[in-house]
Amino acid sequence: MSRVVGLGHIGIYVRDLDKMTAFYRDFMGMQVTKQSPGRAVFLSSDPERVDHEIALMTGREAEQDPHLIQQISLRVDTLDDLRDFKRRILQEGYKIDNIVTHLSAIGCYFFDPEGNRNEVFWLTGRPSWVMVGVPIDIDRPDDEILGQIDRVWEQTRHVAMGTPPDAAAVAAMQEAYREAAPVGAR
């Protein structure tokens, strides 16, 4: 049976192709790999590895159009890279939706210039099959951040892929949410 082995690319209808190209190229650090002037631009974070990960297409006519994507998730190499993106997101005036740990990753969710939700994430090296998004303060020292993640991960890592969390895992996640409640998306 065939299976999906990874994300190929995300396509987005845009109103302002130049503005959106500048965002993904200049702010996100991607490289334009293909373009049809006035119609489409393809971008990649690693053109040697993949032709394109984002395809921007004209065709989103009005601001009242519904958002045509749920999110675009792009990985960074280090926790410091994630911190740098948070700093730059705030500096540029983009709106942060939230910053959470999924145990296997820490994601910073924010909105691009046209209101599309993006996630910049760092993999923690802890495999986790629970659906969790606990707010986390990434401006703390690494050992505190990883300690917070490990406390929940140790109590949930027994959950197998594709299975719902048991009562112990749910309790651990609920406690983590209570502890993190004041953190929010700083």
pLDDT digits (tens, 9 = 90+) for 60-114: 777 776 657 778 888 899 999 999 999 999 999 999 999 999 999 999 999 999 8
Report the distance separating Cα 39 and Cα 25, nearest Å: 17
β-strands 54-58, 10-14 pairing: parallel
SS (H, E, C) the chain: CCCCCCCCCEEEEECCHHHHHHHHHHHCCCEEEEEECCCEEEEECCCCCCCCCEEEEECCCCCCCCCCCCCEEEEECCHHHHHHHHHHHHHHCCCEEEEEECCCEEEEEEECCCCCEEEEEEECCCCCCCCCCEECCCCCCHHHHHHHHHHHHHHHCCCCCCCCCCHHHHHHHHHHHHHHCCCCCC
User: How confident is the model over 7-16, as pLDDT tens digits?
Assistant: 668 889 898 9
Report the distance separating Cα 6 and Cα 164, nearest Å: 23
Report the distance separating Cα 81 and Cα 19, nearest Å: 24
Report the distance separating Cα 97 and Cα 104, nearest Å: 19
User: How confident is the model over 105-117, as pLDDT tens digits?
Assistant: 999 999 999 888 8
Q: Domains in the chain, ordered, with CATH? A: 7-60 (3.10.180.10), 70-186 (3.30.720.110)
Give the residue-averaged pLDDT of 166-181.
88
Residue 184 pLDDT class (50, 70, 90 cuts): very low
Residue 179 pLDDT class (50, 70, 90 cuts): confident
Report the distance separating Cα 115 and Cα 137, nearest Å: 24
